[in-house]
Amino acid sequence: MQQAGYDDIREGVRALCAHYDGAYWRKVDEARGFPEAFVHALTEAGWLSAMIPAEYGGSGLGLSEASVILEEINRCGGNSGTVHGQMYNLFTLVRNGSAAQKDYYLPRLASGELRLQSMGVTEPTTGTDTTRIKTTAVRRGDRYVINGQKVWISRVQHSDLMILLARTTPLVEVVKKTEGMSIFLVDLREAIGHGMEVRPIANMVNHETNELFFDNLELPADSLIGEEGKGFRYILDGLNAERTLIAAECIGDGRWFIEKATGYARERQVFGRPIGQNQGVQFPIAEAHIEVEAADLMRWRACGEYDGGQPAGASANMAKYLAAKASWEAANVCLQTHGGFGFACEYDVERKFRETRLYQVAPISTNLILSYVAEHLLGLPRSF
Ligand SMILES: Cc1cc2nc3c(=O)[nH]c(=O)nc-3n(C[C@H](O)[C@H](O)[C@H](O)COP(=O)(O)OP(=O)(O)OC[C@H]3O[C@@H](n4cnc5c(N)ncnc54)[C@H](O)[C@@H]3O)c2cc1C
């Protein structure tokens, strides 16, 4: 089952993904490389700029359509984590950028000349406690000077632009801790080597992610997106888009795992019959299927609210929670169904198993969603 009305997008993305099969992704994963050919093809076909308004050269589509694009990449066995940054960053730029920023950047992003794949929020000493970030942006004349450090910032080596969150007013001087932060559009081509250093982090998934060091990086004052001091609000809006997109990616993963498990359970003969004839094998797959389909309903609620301009925080968080949990359960079931072969790289199960595990931690950990629901939806006392 899937939401009707997006067949053209699904078919288009699937047709493209058919050229980038399991062997392609396995090779990229083994080499710890970047799927440049895939990203190039996706850009050329216009999928990465689909949500840019038509007047700037895009297709003017919404979060619902963006979510289908990413879902299908994962549903086909690919890794949408290599490209999803541009999708949610575009929502931040389109919704909050100035006319001049949109006039300059959006046509270049639409044509594929530029990529906006990175967003720098997380810091090593503050983690999830975002309002305590220590990276500062100080206005000096027509520049902002950036100092500080970020960690786990993805796709920086394969992006031209990055949205950066920094403190413009010290925490002690603001009434509310969510105030006094601002977001900037950083031109990575100018910044790297001129006040910004990038150190890659080797990690469990083939996910290009980095530590960033800022030492008096100078940004033109017009790099500021929106109003100074309101950056946390803009980032939160972008994070709701990100969480909904990640939910859709997890739905895609979940469906891939279930199809893979079902196919193997039908074919694999042990004790003279298909393993899928045993209820002990069938039931966990059926259960995982139910969980994925249920999570998909919340994903569509989040998409509808976001595209309709309504507050989407609650649904986006719950969709991400449910979908990440469902895809991880589906991954476990798929690996178990494959027995020893689940561990063999050539089946792609172990790769996808690693890839989908990430989403219970990033972009927001499961505990933090639970605390959001407890506090904001159920009115329980704040725990931190
Ligand atoms: C591969 C990868 C790519 C990433 N890409 C990006 C990126 O592009 N940009 C970016 O800005 N960030 C990125 N991140 C960072 C990611 O968003 C964070 O890792 C995530 O939000 C968790 O933050 P943390 O690692 O600092 O964990 P911490 O905040 O240190 O938390 C550690 C653990 O403690 C738990 N915990 C903490 N506080 C509480 C509490 N009060 N109650 C209950 N439990 C709690 C958390 O749930 C978590 O399980 C990426 C991370 C990874 C691993």
Q: Any idea where the domains of the chain sit in the sequence?
A: 7-115, 117-229, 233-377
- One digit per residue, the tens of pLDDT, for the chain of length 384 reads 677 779 999 999 999 999 999 999 999 999 999 999 999 999 999 999 989 999 999 999 999 999 999 999 999 999 999 999 999 999 999 999 999 999 999 999 999 999 999 999 999 999 999 999 999 999 999 999 999 999 999 999 999 999 999 999 999 999 999 999 999 999 999 999 999 999 999 999 999 999 999 999 999 999 999 999 999 999 988 999 999 999 999 999 999 999 999 999 999 999 999 999 999 999 999 999 999 999 999 999 999 999 999 999 999 999 999 999 999 999 999 999 999 999 999 999 999 999 999 999 999 999 999 999 999 999 999 998
How many C-beta neighbours within 10 Å does residue 177 have?
Answer: 14
Return the pLDDT at 205. Answer: 95
CA 258 to ligand 1 centroid distance, Å: 28
The Cα 61–Cα 52 span in angstroms is 7
Question: Ligand 1 test: best mutation among 128, 359, 366, 369, most atoms within 8 Å of CB?
Answer: 128
> Do 195 and 212 contact (CB within 8 A), yes or no?
no
CA 295 to ligand 1 centroid distance, Å: 22
CA 384 to ligand 1 centroid distance, Å: 15
The Cα 15–Cα 12 span in angstroms is 5
Find all residues with CB under 8 Å of 271, minimum gap 6, and list them. Answer: none
Helix H, strand E, coil C: the string for the chain is CCCCCCHHHHHHHHHHHCCCCHHHHHHHHHCCCCCHHHHHHHHHCCHHHCCCCHHHCCCCCCHHHHHHHHHHHHHCCCCHHHCHHHHHHHHHHHHHCCHHHHHHHHHHHHHCCCCCCEEECCCCCCCCCHHHCCCEEEEECCEEEEEEEEEEEECHHHCCEEEEEEECCCHHHCCCCCCCEEEEEEEHHHHECCCEEEEECCCCCCCCEEEEEEEEEEEEHHHEECCCCEHHHHHHHHHHHHHHHHHHHHHHHHHHHHHHHHHHHHHCEECCEEHHHCHHHHHHHHHHHHHHHHHHHHHHHHHHHHHCCCCCHHHHHHHHHHHHHHHHHHHHHHHHHCHHHHHCHHHCHHHHHHHHHHHHCCCCCHHHHHHHHHHHHCCCCCCC
CA 243 to ligand 1 centroid distance, Å: 14
CATH 2.60.120.10 at 7-115, yes or no: no
Task: Name which residue sits closest to atom 33 of ligand 1, judged by CA.
Answer: 365
Pairing relationship of beta strands 209-220 and 196-200 according to DSSP bridges: antiparallel
Domain at 233-377: CATH architecture = Up-down Bundle (1.20)
Tokens of 29: 């994963």
CA 323 to ligand 1 centroid distance, Å: 18
Residue with tokens 């891939």: 256
Residues with CB under 6 A from ligand 1: 119-122, 127-128, 152-154, 203, 205, 207, 209, 358, 361-365, 367-368, 371, 383-384
Overall CATH class of domain 117-229: mainly beta
Alpha-carbon dihedral 140, 144, 147, 148, rounded to 10 degrees = 140
Task: Name which residue sits closest to atom 48 of ligand 1, judged by CA.
Answer: 365
Question: Does the CA dihedral 75-76-77-82 come out positive or negative?
Answer: negative
Nearest alpha-carbon partner for 211 in 202, 219, 221 = 202
The Cα 49–Cα 54 span in angstroms is 10
CA 346 to ligand 1 centroid distance, Å: 31
Nearest alpha-carbon partner for 306 in 294, 315, 296, 293 = 315
Return the pLDDT at 1. Answer: 60
Pairing relationship of beta strands 161-167 and 118-120 according to DSSP bridges: parallel
Of ligand 1's listed atoms, the one at least distance from the Cα of 150 is 11
